[in-house]
């Protein structure tokens, strides 16, 4: 695997927008607006969180990406972090109303994570494979390398996902369903999963 570098952020953000093209319907109800602004949302998150995450790509062709962080690192969306990270231009492109929704959703999920997850763990913030490359083993490549490292640290992992297909994929890697919840204003049901470390 290759480390996620700053130079990858813009093209990765475009890939994420393609991969999760329907996931921001509550933030951008209009499909055309969503198509234009969704890449800015991903770019903003990756830019301001970059110093605090462990990000990996499958190759320079950017078939897939995984973003992890330790549980003691809080990188929730806030005006202060946006200004400090120099991403105000992206915030303006996204728009105030949409940013307020993003902040609410982010804070809600952060509270649920603190409620459900073990005290010390790794959080899988994002796992995505470009639709053009799905089904070719790239997700396994991204997960296996990091899970091996986490097992050596004897720490659990936590994630949220939606959709039964995703649940079955993560269960294949040892994750178990621990809770389900919805966010006010979001129609999708979120599934919280945790994986206990394996002894090697």
CA 125 to chain centroid: 3
Six-digit token string for 71: 């549980």
SS3 190: strand
Closest CA to 57 of 112, 126, 3: 3
| Domains of the chain, start order | 2-154 (3.40.630.30)
Residue 194, φ and ψ in degrees, nearest 5: -135, 145
Per-residue pLDDT of the chain (200 residues; tens, 9 = 90+): 899 999 999 999 999 999 998 888 889 999 999 999 999 999 999 999 999 999 999 999 999 999 999 998 877 788 888 988 899 999 999 999 999 999 999 999 999 999 999 789 999 999 999 999 999 999 999 999 899 999 999 999 999 998 778 899 999 999 999 999 999 888 889 999 999 998 76
The reported pTM is 0.92
């Amino acid at each position: 695997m290759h480390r996620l570098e700053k130079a990858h952020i813009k093209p990765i953000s475009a890939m994420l927008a393609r991969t999760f093209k329907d996931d921001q319907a509550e933030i951008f109800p209009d499909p055309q607006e969503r198509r234009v602004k969704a890449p800015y949302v991903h770019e903003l998150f990756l830019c301001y969180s970059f110093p605090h995450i462990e990000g990996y790509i499958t190759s320079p062709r950017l078939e897939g990406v995984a973003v992890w962080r330790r549980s003691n690192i809080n990188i929730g969306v806030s005006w202060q972090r946006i200004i400090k990270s120099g991403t105000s231009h992206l915030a303006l492109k996204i728009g105030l109303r949409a940013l307020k929704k993003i902040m609410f959703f982010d804070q809600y999920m952060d509270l649920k994570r603190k409620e459900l997850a073990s005290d010390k763990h790794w959080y899988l913030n994002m796992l995505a494979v470009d639709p053009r490359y799905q089904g070719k083993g790239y997700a396994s490549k991204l997960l296996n390398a990091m899970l091996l490292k986490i097992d050596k640290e004897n720490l659990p992992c936590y994630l949220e996902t939606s959709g039964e297909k995703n649940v079955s994929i993560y269960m294949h890697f040892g994750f178990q369903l621990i809770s389900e919840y919805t966010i006010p204003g979001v129609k999708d049901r979120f599934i919280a999963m945790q994986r206990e470390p394996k002894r090697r």
